[in-house]
Structure 1
Amino acid sequence: MTGSLWSCLLLLSAQGAAPQPVDSRLEMVTVFPEKALVQRVFEVSSDRVGELEVVVGPLPVLAERDSMQVRVLSGEVEVQGLEIELATAAGAEDPRTREARTLLQEAQDAARAIKTELAGLEARQEVLQALIGSAQAYAEDAERLDGFMAMIAERSMALDRERAEIEARRAVQDELVEQRQRELAARISEARPVQNLVLPLRFAAPGTAQFRLLYLVSNASWEPSYEIRVATDLTGVAMSQVARVRQSTGEDWESVELLLSTSMPSRGLSAPELPRRFYQLPFTSSPELDGLAAEAFGAGVDAASVAGGSGAASSRRNRTSSGVVALFPVSGTRSVRSGPEVARFELASLPLDVRPERYVVPSISDQGWLRAAIRYNGEKPLIPGRGRVYLGGDLLGETQIPLMQSGDRTTVSLGPDPTLQVRFQTVLDERREPGILSSTARIVRGYQADIRLDPSANAAVQILVEERFPRSRDERVNVKPTRLNPAPLDDEQARALREQQGIYRWSFELAPGATRRITWGYEASFDEDLDPVLIER
């Protein structure tokens, strides 16, 4: 037989052989807000030059077929195609099955230990029975016989109680073993749809090649949340960023590198295109439909693509723009099981400039409210999310953290401060009618607030007071502030609030046991024939 004929026979034999199964290892998962990108690695070895077909699986049925990619990491090999097959997996030795097997083994070991304990008890009962047979030796001494029989009775009752307790534990453990056996049997017999990836390869030289498999999978998501911890003495605030990861993809992510991204891969990157809009009369024939489709959607588009949605509908789904993408690597290797449970991972302690302050609105509340004025100094954007607020180890409630770039500021409310008391009074409220030579009437009102920090407070605190003054919506009514003591803040932010919203602000430091009084008021003037009404919403 010539060498060329022998080579042809080898090639035909290889082409007719079943694909070679290949195990893959889950290496990295990038979780997006709506899905996840899974990366697996695997190796294929060949001792000859030529074609070799391998099958990689099982892969979850939720893996998106159009997203599957195979990249060669090393080796003289070429991937000649990619085919996906649906299959049914039963009895796969996945991490859940291995865990069920381990739990069964532990339950069986505990049952054997109880059985050994019961055997030891039975041996002691046999010894006690042998002792009863020797009671004849005390027959001539009634006192010693009574003492001996009392000891036998006491030991016998103790052994009976111990036996009842051991048998109760054995019954519970036997039931647990049966439960673990049922769970393992269910895992082994569980039939589930999966996908297998068939890869025809061509080796240019014998050796081992390494590959990376990537695919998108649905039913996976993550969202940021924040933990805001306030010191029990109300003197400091710390905030950490936490990721809440969910996945029901059908495969457990065991010991993987986990990367969290704000990207939305299900959305397109192009800006929306302007649609063509027109009126037309109803059509009845297929040629006219094809012509209208070409006119509406451009040349080269047939009626089938318009009706079925394979062209136009697909482009409409992708008409969104993309924004700034932030990546958050989770340290170490992590595991996230497929199921309803939420996995939580702490991402970072956030670099913040935090200034605790007490916020007071005397006319509304007799309490002061603890707030944290925050300036964010991180490099990556702080994406919006829920924040849980803790005082020491106690959960106070939830707040919302907005989108923040480096240098942005926000204020987080932390609840009432029990060490601060506010006493508000209306000290003036009257209408002054015009005099003899005037037709202008006035409403004059004055207020005062005494703000006191309890002596039990650990240190002096910063107080911010705000009050909103009435503003006129009618040029015939003029409102001006009065009785402002001390003078309100006059920085750029305070002036903007005052001019745009009528909000006046005071800020001062208050020591433990100290009280600070603030007074303010306003005067509304108008023609005596008018009767303006104060509206408060």
Structure 2
Amino acid sequence: MNYKRLSLLACSLIAAGASFAQKSQKLNIDHITVFLSGAEIESDTRIEVPQGTSEILLTNVAGNLNAQSISVGADNNVVIQSATPKNDYLSEQNLSPKAKQLADSLDYLKIRLGEINNKKATVDEQISVIRSNRNTGGANSGLNVTELQKMLDLIALRMNNLLNESNTLQRNIDKTNERIALLDKQYNEELQKGFQPGGQLLVKIYSPVATTTALHVTYITPNAGWTPVYDLKAAKINDPLQLVYKANIVQQSGISWDKVKLTLSTGNPNEGLTAPDMQPWFLSFYVPKPVMYKNMMAAAPLSSSMRAKSDEVADGSLGAYVSVNNSGVNTRFDIALTYTILSDGKEYSVAIQDFQVPATYRYYTAPKLDPDVFLQARITNWEEMNLIPGNANIFYEGTYVGQQYLDPATVKDTLNLSLGRDKKVIVHRTEDKNYRSQKMIGSNVRRSFQYTIEIRNTRKDNIDLLVSDQFPVSNDKDIEVIDTEAPGASIGENGIINWELQLKPAETKTLKLQYAIKYPKDKRIMGL
């Protein structure tokens, strides 16, 4: 279908006739591209237009949209003259779904409270009538003792029932008032969360003849976005890893995305398009400023709790439903399945891709820093998976073991994933106190150190283990690191020591490292 398309800037409110009621039409959302920050919403509808100039008020539009991004197209020689976004300030639509639910609960409880109060008033009136007529049958009534006793018994029974009922109703009133107070507090808190109501789009149209036209509307809302998250699952050691690539989508556009097709883009339209311009780099002398001491014990920010996710992808391979497009500047994931994403600010988990990833496994320990041994899965060729920085949920043998942040920008050729601590491989690192010494050599001090690392494999299978330690590194010519020894290890220029071991079941191996430090006796070493 051919559209005459007009890219529209933010327009001022259409004067004069705009104050009269216009015909309204609901837009149907048919596709949404979600960026890391923001989303492009594509909607359409078919309308009847009269000859000449007319206006149509389009609803089911995001609130506070980016007015510069609005594009409206029409066919059948219909011309779009202008489009003006308008926020819908109807009170009912200004409420979030949670606030509406609380408001409905408050209305119900207040109606119920009125009914209980009315019932209690009726009971209390009956009690008042009995009390006001308690002298009935007095000394001049002519009632005998038997008749008087029967009347008193009847009054006592009726009064007792009424008093009990009045007390019960009062307790119900007190509880209902307490509940109303709590809900009212929650309701007021919900109103402070800045819920974004939906908006409208007032479109001015010209047509040379009366006809029907298909309107196609696109715009960008800033109140949406997605973040990547990964599930990495290892069924058992030496098996391929299963990597599930997911997106947590959040939107508060003011309208629900009901059963729409999604495209996820790694782009961000809010970053701007202007390339940086290099400016002269001027040097100047550093002038220290006076130090102002203050209390640095500030409270650490609390981490936000995880929100419930709503994953609407059926089980099975995602390859048949998702196509990946890397031809442009950004990566796009086009998803054939439809999703419903409510405008509630909650995270909705959408599965994008899954992979069977070949991996090699090894154990790793750095006993100087942590006495435990970690099982690692090592992945190569990870660049082909279009990963972007995000958290990974790690599962091993069907059990969740923790979370790791993946940042492909910091990974070289191999991606190392920790699958947890293995208590069946035991490591002890101890210092040899007998070797430790401090001697004076002329104007210098020589301090010697030696450590023993003992490793035992209590597993029933062979393991590959990387053991890391380190020698200190000097960045001062007066500090010398000498007599370094680590038999069987490779030593890097940065002082990192690595032993690559193979351990059989129940096998124990012992590693040693030693070094000495020489420095002027009138100096003190930091970090030793």
Normalised by the size of structure 2, how large is the TM-score? 0.59
Asked if the contact 1:431–1:441 (Cα under 8 Å) also holds between the matched residues in 2, the reply is no
1:68, 1:215 within 8 Å by CA — same for their partners in 2?
Answer: yes
Partner of 2:351: 346
**1:509 partnered with 2:514:** no
Structure 2 gaps of 5+ residues are 1-17, 102-186, 188-195, 281-327
Q: Where do residues 371-386 of structure 1 align in structure 2 (5 Å cutoff)?
A: 371-379=376-384, 381-386=386-391
1:503 counterpart letter in structure 2: I
* Residue 419 (1) aligns with residue 424 (2): yes
CA deviation after TM superposition for structure 1 residue 402, in Å? 0.8
Q: Whole-Å Cα distance in 2 between the matches of residues 432 and 265 of structure 1?
A: 63
Aligned with residue 28 of structure 1, among 28, 31, 47: 31
Match of 1:480 in 2: 482
Aligned to 1:249, which of 249, 253, 263?
A: 253
> In the TM superposition, what is the alpha-carbon distance from 1:254 to its structure 2 partner?
0.6
Q: Which residue is equivalent to 2:340?
A: 335
2 CA distance for matches of 1:52 and 1:447?
Answer: 87
1:257 Cα deviation after fit = 1.3
Amino acid at match of 1:80: Q
Q: Specify the code of the residue in structure 2 equivalent to 1:34.
A: S
Aligned equivalents of 2:19, 2:257: Cα separation in 1: 35
- Alignment length, in residue pairs? 376
| Aligned AA (1:28) | H
What's 2:462 paired with?
460
Question: Is the 2:43–2:217 Cα contact (8 Å) retained in structure 1?
Answer: yes
**1:346 partner letter:** A
Q: 1:267 to 1:482 in 2, by over 3 A?
A: closer
In structure 2, distance between residues paired with 1:468 and 1:22: 71
Q: Deviations over 1:141-173 (max 9, x none)?
A: xxxxxxxxxxxxxxxxxxxxxxxxxxxxxxxxx
The yes-or-no answer on 1:396 pairing with 2:411 is no
Deviation at 1:52, TM superposition (A): 4.8
Q: How does 1:5-16 map to 2 (within 5 A)?
A: none
> What displacement does 1:503 show?
0.7
| Superposed CA offset, 1:474-507 (max 9, x none) | 4355423544322x23xxxxx6xx11x2111111
CA separation in 2, counterparts of 1:432 and 1:78?
91
Residue of structure 2 in register with 1:61 after alignment: 63
Matches within 5 A, 1:160-175: none
**Paired position in structure 2 for 1:40:** 43
Task: Give the direction of change, closer, same or farther, for the CA distance of 1:43–1:405 in structure 2 (3 Å limit).
Answer: farther
CA 1:513–1:79: 2 relative to 1, 3 Å: same
Report if aligned partners of 2:235, 2:398 keep a CA contact under 8 Å in 1. Answer: no
**Alpha-carbon distance in 2 for matches of 1:406, 1:80:** 52
**Aligned residue for 1:357?**
362
Corresponding residue SS for 1:216: strand
CA deviations 1:306-365 (Å, max 9, x no partner) are: xxxxxxxxxxxxxxxxx9633233441111001132111122225745332211223444
In 2, Cα distance between equivalents of 1:426 and 1:336: 59
The 5 Å alignment of 1:422-437 reads: 422-427=427-432, 429-431=435-437
1:235–1:444 distance in 2 versus 1, CA, 3 Å: farther
Trace 1:201-212 onto structure 2 (pairs within 5 A).
201-203=205-207, 208-212=212-216
Measured in 2, the distance between the counterparts of 1:17 and 1:533 equals: 85
What residue identity is the alignment partner of 2:84?
E
After TM superposition, list the pairs within 5 Å mapping 1:77-88 onto structure 2. 77-88=78-89
Identity of aligned residues (%): 22
CA distance in 1, matches of 2:412, 2:336: 26
Contact 1:377 1:406 in 2 (8 A): no
Deviation at 1:249, TM superposition (A): 1.7
Alpha-carbon distance, 1:27 to partner: 1.0
1:272 to partner: Cα distance: 4.8
Secondary structure in 1 matching 2:477:
coil
> Is 1:520–2:522 an aligned residue pair?
no
Task: Say what the alpha-carbon RMSD is for the aligned residues.
Answer: 4.5
Which letter maps to 1:83?
A: T
Instruction: Name the SS of the counterpart of 1:266 in structure 2.
Output: helix
Structure 2 match to 1:12: none
- 1: CA distance between counterparts of 2:258 and 2:515? 67
Q: Which residue of 2 aligns with 1:262?
A: 266
Q: What is the 5 A alignment of 1:131-150?
A: none
Q: Distance in 1 between matches of 2:77 and 2:66?
A: 28
Q: Which entry has the higher C-alpha Rg, 1 or 2?
A: 1
* Structure 2 Cα separation of the partners of residues 348 and 44 of structure 1: 39
